[in-house]
Structure 1
Amino acid sequence: MGEVHRLLTTKGKQAALEEGAMSREVIEAAAAYMAAEDSPLAFAYSGWAQCALPHRRTPPGQLWVVESDHVRLVVEPGHRASGKKGDGPMEPVGVPFGAYARLIMLYLQTQALRTGSREVELGGSWRAWMHRIGVPWGGSSGKAVREQAEMIARCRLTFHVQGMGRSGLVNQSIVDAADFIEEMSDDRQGRLSLETAKLSESFFAQLQKHPVPLEESAIRPLANNSAALDVLVWLSYRLHSLQVPRLVTWRALKAQFGTSYKELYHFKARFPDLLRLALAVYPDAQVEVQDEGVLLKPSRPPVSPKLIQIG
């Protein structure tokens, strides 16, 4: 149990907030996680624990490139026909980004593993899941979710893997096939809404081999924070597989999580806050911030292996 969880257990939420020893955001996240009565599982592909999507919109047509110690991720934006009737020249839709893109990916991956099918329907169950996670469907948030879904359906990724004197790559689309319906927007211009998505065979195969189980109760408090979601997936993947403590340097952490920071010292000042937020929903994580970086220690997984049932 982490420090914030002990504080909430012994003093309660209001006293913890009044004491001011930790940020409100961390206390609220930990309290929400601890108060959850039940927590269905969600699953992420382990590749996302090593390299992730951008947090902000990138320029149209621009590649997204990010790398960790042994993995480099390249995401190519997809294209669609422009014009109200879809008969204009092809235009880039951009690379998926932010918290909504990550939540949609979690839903697609979870449903595919639960059903054992690459084809996932994005209808009422998707809307219900997003609502349960804390994302309202209507208005601007619904529009943003539909935009990210289209970007995911159209983009292409490559995971370049290096290590042990060898290199390789996994070059794939996330989605092989997709069905869209046209919805009328306020300006009377049709907008596409993704209704079904069929994960690519290669992506689904990698997901089945290397899933990272997560609790919905841990995702919900971080649903609006893409950076904290990335840290949670990273910790969930790394900690339980360690046999001995492992130091990850600040420079390595910045390469993976801090692409938006120009200077290392800016990232170094910000990352501990993200780490504390992720730890608020992973009580068994053993992590220590040091001058040289972050020390990861062998920890219990966030989900007991006995509770994981896929398919």
Structure 2
Amino acid sequence: MTFDVEIRDADLVAELDMARETPGFEFKRMELSQKQASRDKLASLSRDARRRELVRRKLEDTPTDADDLRHIHSVLAMCGLPYSRQPLSVREYERKQGRMSLVVEAGKLRNPETGNRIEQPLPFGPKARLLLMHLCSEAIRQQGPTIEVADSLTGFIRDMGFPVTGGKKGTLQAFKEQINALAACKLSVGMWDGRHAVEYQGMPFSRIDVWLPTSPDQMMLWPSTLTFSMDFYTTLAKHALPIRAEAVRAFAGSARKLDMYFWFNYRLHRLRQPLPISWNALAEQFGGDYGRQRDFKRGFADDLKDVLDVFPKLPVKLTEAGMTVSPAGPDALYLPPLRKR
């Protein structure tokens, strides 16, 4: 970036005028020129690219900010939910990755007005992933399995960069649909090491307090309090993966980019040597709804470029055969140093 850019913004011009006739004027001019160049670069970017650039700068300024840490279950980070809405008739979804597996079974919630049980869809997309992160983070932060959802959801939606809007197509409706799906579903989380296998099977939540909104355009079940089952909460406490909320905001609109961030977060510092991953394996992990591999390759390359905009130190390289990931410390993802268990 050049530092000899014409200073045009009114506040920078005023600051420059105040510095005239001072001993450090030339240094000040160069500093303000750098600021002008930085602003010009931001102005030339698209909205999403501008968000990624701002997130990268903030992460660089606070590379080990503990206050910005959130958590998600390691298995949920490795074995993601569906990328797109599944028909209501599809009641089960399974993903495997390495020696972990996740099976999600869609469930039902009881209508507090009629007493009828209403089928919920499978959770899907970026909002379900963001909610899982929020709920897991709240459980870790509060060191307990019960989360007061109603009091925190609106602030969480804003914190992720979404406007809080009502109506059938508003963000509240979309997030409520996903939290209902998560509250009703059954999870089977499996891990094995070649000698032993452990599998948690059951509802992630042991108690769900629901109420029916009175606004006509938001008539749907809505949990106000969720309590993780003790089995799930115990595995979460043991296998919580730290992530940066600031980074999550950069990818909040894309389920695939969130999955890529979570996946890198889990795999990167566990490597001891460069790991080549074939295109077939990448498509199995991140392919989602792509029908043709060439379309997946193009889409994956574009998404990886966006991830690298935020994390330029990620040691990854695309090849004709797939992708190679090299070992790196948590600093590549702006995380605090690992604590010894």
TM-score by length of 2: 0.78
**More deviation in 298-307 or 198-207?**
298-307
Larger gyration radius, structure 1 or structure 2: 2
* Equivalence for 2:38: 12
Q: What is the rounded CA distance, in whole Å, between the counterparts of 2:103 and 2:278 in structure 1?
A: 23
Deviation at 1:152, TM superposition (A): 0.6
Within a 5 Å distance, the mapping from 1:1-311 to structure 2 comes to 12=38, 14-15=40-41, 25-26=48-49, 28-35=51-58, 40-62=68-90, 63-81=92-110, 85-88=113-116, 90-139=117-166, 140-161=170-191, 164=194, 167-186=197-216, 190-301=219-330, 302-306=333-337
Q: Deviations over 1:267-295 (max 9, x none)?
A: 11211111122233334321111111111
Q: Indicate if the aligned counterparts of 1:286 and 1:299 stay in contact, CA closer than 8 A.
A: yes
Q: What is the rounded CA distance, in whole Å, between the counterparts of 1:249 and 1:304 in structure 2?
A: 28
Q: What is the rounded CA distance, in whole Å, between the counterparts of 2:334 and 2:240 in structure 1?
A: 12
Deviation at 1:163, TM superposition (A): 5.1
Q: Indicate if the aligned counterparts of 1:68 and 1:252 stay in contact, CA closer than 8 A.
A: no
Q: What is the rounded CA distance, in whole Å, between the counterparts of 2:335 and 2:55 in structure 1?
A: 20
Q: Deviations over 1:136-190 (max 9, x none)?
A: 2332101111111111111011134455366553323221111112102435x84
The amino acid of 2:183's aligned partner reads: A
**Which is strand-richer, 1 or 2?**
1
Q: Indicate if the aligned counterparts of 1:13 and 1:27 stay in contact, CA closer than 8 A.
A: no
* Equivalence for 1:5: none
Q: Indicate if the aligned counterparts of 2:149 and 2:223 stay in contact, CA closer than 8 A.
A: yes
Deviation at 1:201, TM superposition (A): 1.5
Q: Indicate if the aligned counterparts of 1:26 and 1:276 stay in contact, CA closer than 8 A.
A: no
Q: What is the rounded CA distance, in whole Å, between the counterparts of 2:283 and 2:180 in structure 1?
A: 29
**More deviation in 174-183 or 67-76?**
67-76
Q: Secondary structure at the match of 2:223?
A: strand
Deviation at 1:247, TM superposition (A): 1.0
Q: Indicate if the aligned counterparts of 1:136 and 1:142 stay in contact, CA closer than 8 A.
A: no
Q: Deviations over 1:175-208 (max 9, x none)?
A: 1111112102435x84222111111212212211
Q: What is the rounded CA distance, in whole Å, between the counterparts of 2:197 and 2:143 in structure 1?
A: 30
Q: Deviations over 1:93-129 (max 9, x none)?
A: 1111111111111111111111110011113333222
The amino acid of 2:99's aligned partner reads: H
* Equivalence for 1:3: none
More contact order relative to length (CA 8 Å, sep ≥ 6)? 1
List gaps (5 residues or longer) in structure 2: 1-33
Change beyond 3 A, Cα 1:228–1:283: same
The amino acid of 1:175's aligned partner reads: F
The amino acid of 1:34's aligned partner reads: R
List gaps (5 residues or longer) in structure 1: 1-7
**More deviation in 139-148 or 36-45?**
36-45
Q: What is the rounded CA distance, in whole Å, between the counterparts of 1:17 and 1:67 in structure 2?
A: 42
Q: Secondary structure at the match of 1:298?
A: coil
Deviation at 1:81, TM superposition (A): 4.3
RMSD: 2.8
Q: Indicate if the aligned counterparts of 1:119 and 1:196 stay in contact, CA closer than 8 A.
A: yes
The total of aligned residue pairs comes to 295
Q: What is the rounded CA distance, in whole Å, between the counterparts of 2:37 and 2:299 in structure 1?
A: 28
* Equivalence for 2:31: none
